[in-house]
Homo-oligomer: A and B are copies of this chain.
Amino acid sequence: MSPTLDNDVSQRLLDAAERLFYERGVQAVGVDAVVSEAGVATKTLYAHFGSKDGLIEAYLRRRDRRWLTWLRDAVDAAAPGPARVFAVFDALGQWFARPDYNGCAFINIAGELAASPTARSIARDHKAALRALLADVAAGSGVTDHTTLGDRLMLLVEGAIITAHVEHDSAAAQRARSAAAALLELDRLVSNPALHSGTLPAN
């Protein structure tokens, strides 16, 4: 057996699975459609992934790695500081504009396989990694309360992902970016004692 060819077959299967699962949902796509799209035999799918659930899990794990790497690269390409906050939403805007954009695969899975603990756990892990990335971005932005900013960026990112998906509105990225800019500006205002007299309410 050649590992190159073996890899090729696995990749073709994962590519086909990702295209179909992401576009139509995992339950709406049968294994027949996947093997047909990949141009492989049904037996090969089971030899490589054991079951449809195994294929779904491999699809999610690969997408998790790829998506987070993509976002991290977009962030790292920006200058350190608040520019990296904007880089997050600029990247989202490009993602939303893709013709095959269909929301976050992990949010979709969490809704579709609500009764599956493994699916929910994979989705949770993915969101924890995203939250950690946004916490890093917030910590490097120079604001005084970067923990709070990280939490708020998470809300804006998730909100933009959902809005772009359900309402089919890719401009949600720009609105989220604008909201993030407002939060940065607020931090700048309240951290400069010369600009205000009172303090912020605690809620």
Contacts and interface: CB of A to CB of B under 8 A. Distances in A.
A60 to B, nearest CB: 13
A162 interface: yes
A65 interface: no
Contacts of A203: 86, 177-178, 181
Contacts of A4: none
Contact of A167 (B27, B124, B167, B177): B124
Interface string A72-112: 00000000000000100000000000000011001111111
Interface string A175-190: 1111101110110011
Interface residues of A, number: 60
A111 B107 contact: yes
A7 to B, nearest CB: 29
Given A111-B107, A112-B111, A159-B158, A124 B185 contact: no
B175 A23 contact: no
B154 A163 contact: yes
A89 to B, nearest CB: 10
A137 to B, nearest CB: 16
A155 to B, nearest CB: 3
B155 A179 contact: yes
Most chain B Cβ neighbours within 10 Å, of A28, A148, A167, A175: A167
A24 interface: yes
Contact of A156 (B156, B177, B186, B196): B156
Given A155-B172, A158-B158, A175-B152, A167 B127 contact: yes
Contacts of A196: 189, 195-196
